[in-house]
Amino acid sequence: MKPLILSLSTVAVLSQAAMAQSVTILPSNYYVSDLSYDGRYAVGNQAGPYETFRWSVQTGPVLLGRATLPTLGIAAGSPDISYAGDRISASITNSAGTQMTQGVWDMYDDAWVSLDAIGQPNAQVVDGSISSAWGFSGDGTTVSGFYWNTSTGATPCTWVPGVGVTPLESTPGRSARVNGVNYDGTVTAGWEANSTGQWQPRVWINGAKIELDNSAAGSVVEAVSADGNYLAGNLYDDEILSRVPSYWAWDGQEYVGHMIGLLPGTPVGNGFGIARAITDDGSIVVGVNFYSFNPGGAADGIVWTESTGLMNAMDYFAMHGIELDGMFDIRAVDTVSPDGSTFAATGIDIKTNEIRTAIIRLDTLCLIDFQRDGELNFFDVSEFVRQFNDHGVDADMDQDGDHDFFDVSAFIQQYSIGCP
């Protein structure tokens, strides 16, 4: 079949406003763990089977298969998504359905590629798992996490489909895990256990380990910015005897840690917090503040910026005109899109009293504002045409993996209507 090539003459050009705010509460049992660059796409797990799903405005949550819990009785890892939103990493069953391992899903193949052979000495299966996925590079090439090793335990590693597994530097006999990856896979970060098993924050640059902190109390890195200059996680604060949300900034020679504190009312020595994500420019940090060591106890989502300092997430969004009181009570902000426009938060749906995920946009994504400048005009049409002919993911207006007449029709229809 001859491919459809689109020209600018296909679409009439108008100029319209394209910006607003939005809150989207996902269906029950769908929890988001990562967002694409501008928040247009999300990924997470479905509670129960722990199956990975991909979400977009057009499709809602779509389950991707290869869930490990129903087949193997185990689950682990964190699904993550590429900046473009077309590739996803997660812990899945291997091709034979006999082990849990790392995998990459591609939108256009609508299929998983799994890590079926580690190819490293001493790799082993532990309780049905040989490896698990905890991070993904923005360019969609590099999965991070760990694989099981007979001599070390959890061996930190990266995996590139078609290339293989690369173990990262770690202390012999100590387990470690890679939680976050920068855009091109050159900077990774996570934790390494000390002699007593406490996690301690680590970063690897081209596979070489840097020890960020060695407090006996333990802490961790969860996320990495695109250029690798910013990290997010937590550090132990000796003054309040608690692990507190923190970020690190590269000063040209080393990573400098910055503790952003805990919310008022957190008991000294009996509360803690963690930063789950950071924007690419380091301007926004998000996470959760726990008021006790009980994982099921009281908690609030947090947002930090340099200008506002640490804030309860409910107050932060209210400051930006998004009033959630009486609608949704945020207990954790799980991630923020790298561009800072979109947040995914777990909380209580006041109407149903269910724990659900809310996707909150400070400036609502207009699907046809391809220039991301808040207006609709000739330049958006031109960019849509370019992406359509290049098979770009955003130009797949119905998100079915094909670029065809239906996508052109959808663009024209939405363009004629405009944006909120």
What percent helix, strand, coil does the chain show, rounded to 5? 10, 45, 45
pLDDT category of residue 420 using cuts at 50, 70 and 90:
low
Residue 364 is predicted with a pLDDT of 67
C-beta atoms surrounding 307 within 10 Å: 6
Residue 378 is predicted with a pLDDT of 82
* pLDDT at residue 9 greater than cutoff 60: no
* pLDDT at residue 240 greater than cutoff 50: yes
E strands, 260-367, where? 272-278, 284-290, 299-305, 309-312, 328-336, 342-349, 354-361
| Least confident span in 195-209, 316-330, 353-367 | 353-367
DSSP state of 142: -
* pLDDT at residue 18 greater than cutoff 60: no
pLDDT digits (tens, 9 = 90+) for 37-82: 999 999 999 999 999 999 998 999 999 999 999 999 999 999 999 9
pLDDT category of residue 373 using cuts at 50, 70 and 90:
confident
pLDDT digits (tens, 9 = 90+) for 378-418: 888 888 888 888 888 888 888 888 888 888 888 888 888 88
